[in-house]
Amino acid sequence: MTFNFTVSPSFPNERISDWYIFNTWLQRALSLPIHLELYDSFGTQRAAIAEGKVDIIYANPFDASLLVREKGFRAIARPEGQPDEMVVITAAESPFKEIPDLKPGARVACSDDPSVNTVGRILLEPADLNAANTVEHRRETYIQVAREILRGEADVGFLPVEAFEALSSIVRRDLRVLVTSQLHVIHHVFLIGPALSPHAEQITQLLLSMHDTDKGRGILEALGARSWQAVQHEDVEFMIDIISTLTQ
């Protein structure tokens, strides 16, 4: 039996090859047949999840909620370091200096990342803005979101902090961060599905010790991580409760 592995589409495109390298390392270390399938949108990935085509996933916090509570997945690890945060950006020459400066009719550039968009909408609330009184420009990549701002085709954009920091210094120079989220408690997490439950301990220990070897550290660095940390069930449940509150 081949197990299917996928990754939240929120990662930068330049890391596609690094995830394939990680998958090769993973299946060799586990001596298990693991196939990596990357999806170009959250919608297509969720369709695959609904069809039972995913056995192991590095998931964004919102999809983790669905997988744990409705699909029987188990969270086993998350990256060490900072939690997932996002920024609302505008052009450096924009007249908007802070969120309350924005007005109804504002054009909002975003991807289809549910985590980033939900938090972004919450950060716009001080300006009394919502989906009904703004114009959404949905784009496929974070680069396209930044380009919308730079071209003056959108007033603000939503980006993960990681994606913003991955932009070139020249691009960042022409952008301004209006606000950064400070949730502190939501993270991407590694999840395994029921089919991999017999291998849960083996996979968990492999990830937690990955940084102990030169090869493992090199792969982690390419993915933008230092190491994996163990995830406790109660921590995952707390994160899911926070997300549920945000989406109500």
* DSSP string over the chain: -PEEEEE-TTS-GGGHHHHHHHHHHHHHHHT--EEE---SSHHHHHHHHHTT--SEEEE-HHHHHHHHHHS--EEEEEESSPPP-EEEEEETT-S--SGGG--TT-EEEE-S-HHHHHHHHHHTGGGT--TTSSEEEE-SSHHHHHHHHHTTS-SEEEEEHHHHHHS-HHHHHTEEEEEE----S---EEEE-GGGGGGHHHHHHHHHTGGGSHHHHHHHHHTT-S-EEE--HHHHHHHHHHHHHHH-
What pLDDT digit, counting tens, does each position of 197-242 carry?
999 999 999 999 999 999 999 999 999 889 999 988 888 888 888 8
Residues 176 and 190 reside in one and the same domain: no
Residues 93 and 159 reside in one and the same domain: yes
Name which of 5-14, 28-37, 147-156, 224-233 the model is least confident about: 5-14
> Whole-number mean pLDDT of the chain?
91
Residue 183 has pLDDT above 90, yes or no: no
Residues 78 and 122 reside in one and the same domain: no
What pLDDT digit, counting tens, does each position of 24-44 carry?
999 999 999 999 999 988 888
Residues 108 and 175 reside in one and the same domain: yes
Give the alpha-carbon dihedral of 212, 215, 221, 225, to 10 degrees. Answer: -40
What pLDDT digit, counting tens, does each position of 88-132 carry?
999 999 999 999 999 999 999 998 888 888 889 999 999 999 999
Residues 190 and 76 reside in one and the same domain: yes
b/e per residue, 186-215, with b = 16+ CB within 10 A?
A: bbbbbbbbeebeebeeebbebbeebbeeee
Strands 135-138 and 107-110, how do they pair?
parallel
Q: How far apart are CA 226 and CA 176, in angstroms?
A: 28
Last residue of a domain, one of 180, 200, 223: 180
Residues 190 and 75 reside in one and the same domain: yes
Residue 135: phi, psi to the nearest 5? -110, 115
Q: How far apart are CA 215 and CA 89, in angstroms?
A: 36
Confidence band, pLDDT 50/70/90 cuts, at residue 245: confident
Residues 113 and 139 reside in one and the same domain: yes
Supply the pLDDT for residue 248: 63
Instruction: Tell me the CA distances in angstroms from 245 to 30, 155, 240, one per residue in order.
Output: 38, 28, 9
Supply the pLDDT for residue 9: 85
Supply the pLDDT for residue 121: 92
Write out the residue range of the structural domain in which residue 215 sits. Answer: 3-82+186-247
Last residue of a domain, one of 142, 162, 180: 180
Residues 69 and 99 reside in one and the same domain: no
Residues 68 and 150 reside in one and the same domain: no
Last residue of a domain, one of 127, 158, 180: 180
Residues 195 and 220 reside in one and the same domain: yes
Domain count, the chain: 2
Of residues 33, 2, 7, 3, the one with CA closest to residue 225: 7
CB-CB contact of 60 with 117 (8 Å): no
Residues 108 and 138 reside in one and the same domain: yes
CATH code (residue 112): 3.40.190.10
